[in-house]
Amino acid sequence: MFDSPVRHHNEFIRIASLDFVFTHILKYENGLAVYGIICCHLNNVLTFWSTKLEKSLFLAENDFHNSSIRHIKWFQITDELSWLLVFLGNGQVYVYEICNYPHVQNSFSLWLDEDFACVKNILLQNISNNQCLILFTKMAYVVIILYSLTEKKIVSTKREMIPKTAIIPGFTFIKDKQLLILVTDVGKFVCMYLSTTESEVNYTINIVSHNFNDKVKYFTCNSVVFSKNQCMCALTFQCNMPRYSKNDGHVRNKVVLCTIPENLVELESKILLVNNYNYGDVIDCIETLRINKINDKSNELYEVDRSWLDKCPIQNLKLIYWKIVFKSKKNEQDETILQELQMLLHVRFLTSNCNEKKKIKNEEQYYYRIMLSNYSQKLPAEYILVKTDAAKFIRSFTQADHTYFCTTCEQMILTFTDYTMFICEFEHKELRCPVTLGPLGIPYLVCSMCFTMANVTAKNQSCVWCFGKYIPNKLLH
């Protein structure tokens, strides 16, 4: 399909580009990545280039004579296969399969109707090694196409019109649940549960209720942005009432931040799967959890199962702790459970640190022994495993001597049983690090999620109580 260029590439440089896409890394030359770029020019010509730093090399061209090109998109389907989607002004959509850039292995029409409607949203999703879903919206329609990667053909096409809708401004697809979530121009959420076979795709539709109908009564939703984990989204609205003057008092635009129901996105499972305490991977999930708990009016009481808490993974323990912390109205039982969970988390953290460290200094042994002894006395007897681990280190550190004195008066420190501070006999107070239990000094580190402070020796360690880790305090830089 792509012949050698019949015109000099300088001609294309002089023709303005309507759109362009970066494709992928083609190769490396002297340690530098060479990328592919496809340009769409105003004269309906696609040109293919390779580029490195500020230098580009012309490779091929392709002409469209039947209609103007509106825009182009690039999708990486597999490691070997890529698709270039060309959207024409008459509403048609064409696909070019490229294995060896810029040579086209196969081409087909994705949409042949000349409806002159633009594709508002499009998503390609692999559902198996030999099948992929192509999802896109046109006006009030959502189109679902099942494509066979082995047979190189469209297997099934379904088109559904969403009632009482002029346009669908945004959607997202949750692969694990085969769930397509659409947002309509009136701000309604529509769920489409998909099921696929080798030859067909089917779906069921469900409308999701929300609580901001009155706020956007005279507004039209024109764009949607979903968060990384698809558990929350931002909707922009524009007023659809006539404007008679610049000072008519109407609010012209609104932005609404809303959460997706937990059962649709499996919120808690995503939080528990966070790796290496990278809070940035689940920041939207944690924020969604916080919003949900603040708006929860059920006054649900947490039933303490201490035998399970005694042996559950630390991530589960932290999740339970924060679900209670985020409650807007806490009763006396909630506060008691929080204190218990806080002690339990700190004991688990300290014993884990003792297991991991090859050599523990004398002062650390003393701090650990006093704190673990205090916690063991306060924790209920049902925590058998936790108390057993604590007792092991208490016995191991019996020879550790007291070495720390008040920095203000140099008197004996009376209490080490408060993990937040030291207190001497003259009641001078000094902050402590919850990780090392030593003096905090200048708080060089803060947790990336809950902003608890730690000293510099705790860098990149996981937080005692949450899903973050200790990072440099930006206020000191």
| pLDDT score at 169 | 93
| pLDDT score at 203 | 92
pLDDT band at 249 (very low <50, low <70, confident <90, very high): low
- Statement: residue 256 has pLDDT above 60: yes
* C-beta of residue 220 within 8 angstroms of C-beta of residue 185: yes
| Nearest C-alpha neighbor of 357 from the set 383, 396, 325 | 396
Sheet holding 429-431, edge to edge: 413-415, 421-424, 429-431
Q: Which residue has the higher pLDDT, 235 or 129?
A: 235
* C-beta of residue 293 within 8 angstroms of C-beta of residue 321: no
Beta bridge mates, 309: none
- Statement: residue 389 has pLDDT above 60: yes
Average pLDDT score, the chain = 85
Give the range among 9-23, 168-182, 296-310, 422-436 with minimum mean pLDDT.
9-23
- Give the count of beta carbons closer than 10 Å to the beta carbon of residue 355: 10
Indicate the pTM of the whole model.
0.78
| Nearest C-alpha neighbor of 463 from the set 430, 439, 432, 434 | 434
CA pair distance 68, 62, nearest whole angstrom:
13
Q: What is the pLDDT of residues 37-93, one digit of tens each?
A: 888 877 778 888 888 877 888 888 877 666 788 888 999 888 888 999 999 888 889
**460 is written with which tokens?**
């990149």
Dmax (CA) of the chain: 91
pLDDT over 70, % of the chain: 93
Q: What is the pLDDT of residues 172-229, one digit of tens each?
A: 999 888 999 999 988 889 999 999 988 899 999 998 877 777 788 888 888 999 999 9
| Nearest C-alpha neighbor of 204 from the set 158, 263, 140 | 158
DSSP annotation of 75: E
**CB within 8 Å of 55: residues ≥ 6 apart:** none
**CB within 8 Å of 34: residues ≥ 6 apart:** 25, 26, 27, 28, 50, 51, 52
| pLDDT score at 173 | 92
| pLDDT score at 190 | 92
| Nearest C-alpha neighbor of 418 from the set 470, 346, 315, 341 | 346
| Nearest C-alpha neighbor of 180 from the set 134, 213, 237, 148 | 134
- 302 CB-contact burial (10 Å; exposed 0-12 / middle 13-18 / buried 19+): middle
Q: What is the pLDDT of residues 327-372, one digit of tens each?
A: 888 888 889 999 999 999 999 999 988 888 778 888 888 888 889 9
- Give the count of beta carbons closer than 10 Å to the beta carbon of residue 248: 10
Peptide linkage before 102 cis (omega within 30 of 0)? yes
DSSP annotation of 252: -
| pLDDT score at 44 | 79
Look up residue 175 and give its amino acid: K
Tokens 């006396």 map to which residue? 332
Q: What is the pLDDT of residues 407-451, one digit of tens each?
A: 888 887 767 777 888 888 888 888 888 888 888 878 788 888 888
Tokens 């609404």 map to which residue? 256
- Statement: residue 293 has pLDDT above 90: no
* C-beta of residue 264 within 8 angstroms of C-beta of residue 177: yes
CA pair distance 181, 28, nearest whole angstrom:
40
